[in-house]
Amino acid sequence: MCLRITAHLPGTSMRRIFGLLLIIVATAPEISAQFSFPHKSEAQIARMTPKQHVEEFCREHARHVFPFHNTYDETLEEYLRKDGPRAFPQVIREIEAYDPTRRTGASEEKFRRYEGAVFILSHFDCRVFRVRAFGDGRRAIDALKLLSEKLRIAHSNSKEDDEYEMKRRYELHLSYIEALEGISIADEAIRDTLKLKYDIRLSDDDLLNFINYLISRNPYYPGWSESKMHKENYRDDRSKWLRIFKTPEPFLQAYLEYKAKKPEPGRPRQE
């Protein structure tokens, strides 16, 4: 890419053009990285293995600074949903390849690929099935836990210009684990749905117990319905956005079954 500069331009315009040139030169590697790798056709993606789907998703996440290709991501996610738990082994490898405490494992590409792998886990957890219900899913969570200490060390050893970024990465990493092991966005949507539609109010402990029951019965419950955002208005002019499932009946039925099986205090559970 080049700009034609003519001698009759005023000094201010010349300075602006030279400044623009410097920006282009500085960002050229990132810009070219976003367009130099051709996308695969859907026919090619359909022939790929679960391992290759994960690799392509993580590679796509690593190669783009900005999300220009949402349709391509959605196509990959569609095939990853079909892969299901078969995607976990490569997800684990992508997580384990990132090591911010070692020069060979701390590259920006490996961080972005690790981040892509976490996004796959989060996508499964919130829209398809709970990750922790599967053996390899729990091993993926264990891999994240092992990485936690390395991120903590990298943050504590970071220089002043990297301190904010490493702190952000560490805190986000802990939030990923917390959601995978505890209450997910889909679970919050269940709480909001039961409250709004049926006036059933669940504390964190009540919700977690119900979720553990759901996982033991059918870990694919996040895929029972799509959700939408709903704005709840209050009398004192406050408002709050809730995530509500479009088809709430399966969650109500599951909750009623859970309550029927849950023993009252002092009474044994009926099998």
Domain boundaries, the chain: 40-181, 185-261
* Distance, C-alpha 181 to centroid of its chain: 14
Please give the Cα distance from 246 to 229 (Å, whole number).
10
Lowest mean pLDDT segment, chosen from 32-36, 68-72, 168-172? 32-36
Q: Quick one: average pLDDT of 135-149?
A: 98
Minimum mean pLDDT among 73-82, 203-212, 225-234: which range? 225-234
Q: What percent of the chain has pLDDT over 90?
A: 69
Sign of the dihedral through C-alpha 150, 154, 155, 156 = positive
d(CA 115, CA 187): 22
Task: Give every CB contact of residue 244 below 8 A, 6+ residues apart in sequence.
Answer: 189, 192, 193, 196, 197, 227, 228, 229, 230
CA–CA distance, 133 with 242 (Å, rounded to integer): 26
Task: Give the pLDDT band (50/70/90) at residue 265.
Answer: low
Amino acid at 208: L
Q: For 174-184, what is each residue's pLDDT tens digit?
A: 999 999 999 99
Q: How far apart are CA 119 and CA 264, in angstroms?
A: 39
Secondary structure (DSSP) of 138-179: HHHHHHHHHHHHHHHHHHHT--HHHHHHHHHHHHHHHHHHHH
User: Any bridge partners for residue 233, and if so which?
Assistant: 239
pLDDT, tens only, 90-136: 999 999 999 999 988 999 999 999 999 999 999 999 999 999 999 99
